[in-house]
Structure 1
């Protein structure tokens, strides 16, 4: 492939490094890492070998780290000393592993395989014909067609889509056919990663070194989305009080041993709701119709809590919400449940009036439903936030806890309001 200077500044630096041997390494060290890479790439093979053989190892490691795997391999082979080559190779692998591990820390299930290295990084002055040659060489060596990234002055500025190789003339520079590509530093947070991955228009993201903008690798958004969609599924087991490794065809004994502890806990919590009923047995005896509304209150309040819980779990999964910034979200949930409560109270009042039980019964039942839903929203939002703050799994049997709160609150409201307004 012919040499093409990135811009006049690169040509000036190349001339300086070429003709002033005594200042060569000092001058290269004075350049930014990305410019140093662009200049080094334009040097003759002899000068490149001189730099690779005599520059300090950390300098060479940072220099080669800027190139794509194909070019890095070429430059490593130009190092004369086998021992020096091995040392630099091991250091490159160690640094790459650290950066990949830091990036994949955004999700507990993210593996190193999420970051792909099947790419070539070409100067923006490379022609379409030369890019096609580079692709052919890469495919011959690896058996795969690479992603084609474009750099200017050592920094990735975009990619070349396959159709561009067909639609543009062979002599046209890649810079004229470059498509913008999204990048993220290897230190990106889960929120940053999710924000790009959830954009349906983005198929791939280039991961760059946060310190010098060199390319670390490429990730594909559909693989990231798969990770974020797996996490709520894992939490579903804990939410229901099941073991994560329980499966449909497990033996009956295994199912009993896996579920019993949470069912016993659930049994204990249901007695709390039963205890509330015993406190108001005289009220229930006097107004037997109240029993009809007990499952209504339990179901509506529990569903409201579960819906809120699901929203907050998703927010925690994507890193959108924490206990510190939860107040606006909680306020909106409360406003929403108040409006829903007013709607359900109106509906229940209308139903009891039409059925001949009077407006009072409907108002009491409706207000009890509204209060139960309110408690469900509070529990469904605060329980996962507090557990997450304490370092616990936010979904750890939260279904049982939320149901307990909503059942007790709803029944207390139903019988308490009935005792005050219907029996007085």
Structure 2
């Protein structure tokens, strides 16, 4: 836990008996259905420069966090912004990402602010998810302590701390950072002191840099496409468990919210990549529409996906499962702007486009054709892989933080759901 000497021992730990305080803690932003993949962009945005100067008597920044990053977080806190620290497993689309070096960069894939005005910061750690969670919790505790500090500055004669702030501290110390908190009634605004610009030079902000690779990244460490070179894709490991978590309306798609009833439950076991189609074109279109997928609005996409897969002997239902796993069918992350089914690295072979790291396509149909080509040529033909578990062990390996079994179960759940609609068998 983060402990700051400036704080009374009475607030460094709040007991579970403060049930009222817990119930009145400020609500965290509800999780997205999908854990979006974010890789290193060619020109990431750093947070904007500011004349804000942290008071010299403020609590010491948490160990390992960049001074400029914490100054920005402190400014948000002083402005009564709620800052939520999560990991890549949360299913939320972060506003900012903190890497192993403690520096913070803006997430270029986040285009819409959180509806409640909160700021979500994803913490990545090369040592794994648990290490990232530990750091995220330490930062969450420190952020609440920072909020308490500013409240005390604004109320110098106060003899105690408001219950809702105690509740926030208790929640930060005990709750799983990746579990969305239940919606609560709005809390009283914390009156913060006006921090006047000082004559000294402002805190130097971190220079733009490459965005850190998230912990749950499912990269492939071997050669890429034909001829070797850079790996072709980076995957997403967490969507398989997402049906049990909270959802929100798609922030990148104006078509409306996800139809939760359309999300198939994961199914344990393996399945073949190739085989007769388990779904029809109309069933693909219906599923994508219920998911609020932007690809559903592209005329002819469902037919194009069906044809791209069946022409190579791949069950198109498998492609739909991958699409769901990687980006909630194109709703979130870079896939939304890149028209990508599988977050494939490199340059698009048809249009020759890239966003600097990932392939970018003119249409969703083009993305579907390239995904089918990749699976058929690079995984089935080149490597001799035939089942989902074999493909995922390379496509999104556990060594890169992925839950391979859950990934397979998510895709199989989609396939079995389509088969169930068709009497338990393939449609051809």
TM bucket normalised to smaller: under 0.3
User: Is the radius of gyration larger for structure 1 or structure 2?
Assistant: 1
TM-score (norm 1): 0.24
TM-score (norm 2): 0.24
Q: Which has the higher helix share?
A: 1
